[in-house]
Structure 1
Amino acid sequence: MEVTGLIVGVAGLAGLFSACLDSLSRFQTYRDSNSETHVLDTRFRAVRARFEQWGVSVGFSSGRLQPDHHRGLDNKGTANLIESILQIIAKTICDDSLLQRSRTGTRLQAGQLGGPMQSKSKRLKWALGGKESRTEQVDIFEKLVQQLYNLIPPEDKSQNYEGLGRTAWVEDIRQMLTKIEQGIKFEEQRDVWSWLGKSAPNDKYEDSLAKRVDTTCEWIFERPAFKSWLSPVDSTKPSVLWINGPAGFGKTVLTAHIVHHLSKALDTPVSHFFFTSDHESREDPFSALRSWQRQIASKLNIGFECIRRAWENDFSEQASRRTLVDLFKQVITTVPGCVFVADGLDECLQLGNGDASVARFLRDITGAIAGTDARLLLVSRDEPEIREAFEENKENLTEYRIRTDDVGADTAVFSQSVVNKRLSTKSKDLRSAISEAMAERCQGQFLWIKLQEQSLRTTMCKKRLHEMVKNTPSGLDRLYDQNWSRIMNMSDQDRDRAFALLRWTAFTFLPLTVCEVTEAIIITQFGELDPDDYPENVDDEYITSEILGLCGPLVEVHDDLENPSPGSRTLHIPHFSP
Structure 2
Amino acid sequence: MVLAGTQPGIIRTDLLSHLNYDSDILRKITDEARARLENMTVVSFYETEPTPPLSGLIVDRTSAIMNIDHEDVIPLWENHRDMCRFSGETESCKQVCRALRRITYQPQNVKRKPVRTSTHSSEMKLSDIEKLCMAHFNMVNLTDYKRRLPKPIEGTCQWIRAHPLFVSWFEEAKSTLLWLTGYPGCGKTMLSYSMERQLEETSQNILIYFCDNKISMQKDAKAILIGLIAQLVHRHRAMVRYIGRVFEVQGMSMLSSFSALWSVFERIIKDLKSSTLYVIIDALDECEGSSCYDLLNSIHELISASSSSAGSGRHVKFLLTSRPTLGQEKVAIPLHGHQLAIDEGQPGHGEDLRVFIQVKVNEITSRRGCSEETKDFLLQALLSRAEQTFLWVHMVLASLERSSLASINDFQDIIAKLPRDLEATYLNFLSALPSHHQDSAWQLLRLLLASSRTLLLDEVNIAFTIQPFHESSGDVLRDCQPAIHQTVLGVLGPLIFFWSKTVTNPLVIYMTLIRECLL
Output the TM-score relative to the length of structure 2. 0.52
**Structure 1 position 197, deviation (Å):** 6.6
Q: Which residue of 1 aligns with 2:279?
A: 340
1:277 and 2:222 aligned: no
Distance 1:228 1:90 in 2: 49
Is the alpha carbon distance of 1:198 and 1:459 closer, same or farther for their aligned partners in structure 2, counting shifts above 3 Å? Answer: closer
> What SS class does the counterpart of residue 359 from structure 2 fall into?
helix
Q: Which residue of 2 aligns with 1:48?
A: none
Alignment of 1:480-495 (within 5 A): 480=425
1:465 and 2:402 aligned: no
1:193 and 2:134 aligned: yes
* Structure 2, gaps ≥5 residues long: 1-27, 36-115, 307-313, 430-519
Distance 1:397 1:298 in 2: 34
Q: Which residue of 2 aligns with 1:380?
A: 322
Alignment of 1:125-140 (within 5 A): none
**Structure 1 position 436, deviation (Å):** 2.9
1:447 and 2:391 aligned: yes
Distance 1:315 1:408 in 2: 50
Q: Which residue of 1 aligns with 2:231?
A: 295
RMSD: 3.4
> What SS class does the counterpart of residue 190 from structure 1 fall into?
helix
Q: Which residue of 2 aligns with 1:90?
A: 122
**Structure 1 position 312, deviation (Å):** 4.4
1:215 and 2:151 aligned: no
**Structure 1 position 315, deviation (Å):** 4.8
**Structure 1 position 455, deviation (Å):** 2.9
**Structure 1 position 333, deviation (Å):** 1.0
Alignment of 1:172-321 (within 5 A): 184=127, 187-194=128-135, 196=137, 198-208=139-149, 210-232=150-172, 235=173, 237-267=174-204, 269-312=205-248, 314-319=250-255, 320-321=257-258
Distance 1:293 1:482 in 2: 39
**Structure 1 position 230, deviation (Å):** 1.4
Aligned length, in residue pairs:
303
Choose 1 or 2 for highest CA Rg: 1
Distance 2:278 2:168 in 1: 14
Q: Is the 8 A contact 2:181 2:321 kept in 1?
A: yes
One-letter amino acid of the counterpart of residue 425, structure 2: Y
> What SS class does the counterpart of residue 300 from structure 2 fall into?
helix
> What SS class does the counterpart of residue 338 from structure 1 fall into?
strand
Is the alpha carbon distance of 1:324 and 1:340 closer, same or farther for their aligned partners in structure 2, counting shifts above 3 Å? Answer: same
After superposition, the C-alpha distances for 1:29-49 in whole angstroms (9 at most, x for unaligned) are xxxxxxxxxxxxxxxxxxxxx
> What SS class does the counterpart of residue 221 from structure 2 fall into?
coil
One-letter amino acid of the counterpart of residue 303, structure 1: M
> What SS class does the counterpart of residue 286 from structure 1 fall into?
helix
One-letter amino acid of the counterpart of residue 434, structure 1: L
Distance 1:386 1:362 in 2: 10
One-letter amino acid of the counterpart of residue 376, structure 1: F
Distance 1:338 1:422 in 2: 41
**Structure 1 position 316, deviation (Å):** 4.9
One-letter amino acid of the counterpart of residue 375, structure 2: R
**Structure 1 position 273, deviation (Å):** 0.7
Distance 1:482 1:286 in 2: 32
**Structure 1 position 432, deviation (Å):** 3.0
After superposition, the C-alpha distances for 1:68-123 in whole angstroms (9 at most, x for unaligned) are xxxxxxxxxxxxxxx987x6032236xxxxxxxxxxxxxxxxxxxxxxxxxxxx7x
Distance 1:301 1:318 in 2: 20
One-letter amino acid of the counterpart of residue 347, structure 1: E
**Structure 1 position 331, deviation (Å):** 1.5
Output the TM-score relative to the length of structure 1. 0.47
Q: Which has the higher helix share?
A: 1
Distance 1:341 1:196 in 2: 19
Q: Is the 8 A contact 2:212 2:219 kept in 1?
A: no
Counterpart of 2:299 (choices 365, 370, 390) is: 365
Q: Which residue of 1 aligns with 2:91?
A: none
Percent identity, aligned pairs only, is 22
Q: Which residue of 2 aligns with 1:398?
A: 338
1:421 and 2:363 aligned: yes
One-letter amino acid of the counterpart of residue 252, structure 1: T
Q: Which residue of 2 aligns with 1:327?
A: 264
Distance 1:331 1:397 in 2: 29
**Structure 1 position 464, deviation (Å):** 4.3
Distance 1:249 1:220 in 2: 14
Is the alpha carbon distance of 1:333 and 1:422 closer, same or farther for their aligned partners in structure 2, counting shifts above 3 Å? Answer: same
Q: Is the 8 A contact 1:196 1:318 kept in 2?
A: no
Q: Which residue of 2 aligns with 1:557?
A: none
**Structure 1 position 243, deviation (Å):** 0.2
Q: Is the 8 A contact 2:185 2:389 kept in 1?
A: yes
Distance 2:183 2:190 in 1: 14
> What SS class does the counterpart of residue 214 from structure 2 fall into?
coil
Q: Is the 8 A contact 2:246 2:254 kept in 1?
A: no
> What SS class does the counterpart of residue 201 from structure 2 fall into?
helix
**Structure 1 position 400, deviation (Å):** 0.5
Is the alpha carbon distance of 1:472 and 1:88 closer, same or farther for their aligned partners in structure 2, counting shifts above 3 Å? Answer: same
Is the alpha carbon distance of 1:438 and 1:379 closer, same or farther for their aligned partners in structure 2, counting shifts above 3 Å? Answer: same
One-letter amino acid of the counterpart of residue 275, structure 1: C
Is the alpha carbon distance of 1:481 and 1:188 closer, same or farther for their aligned partners in structure 2, counting shifts above 3 Å? Answer: closer
Distance 1:275 1:412 in 2: 27
Distance 2:117 2:322 in 1: 51
> What SS class does the counterpart of residue 338 from structure 2 fall into?
strand
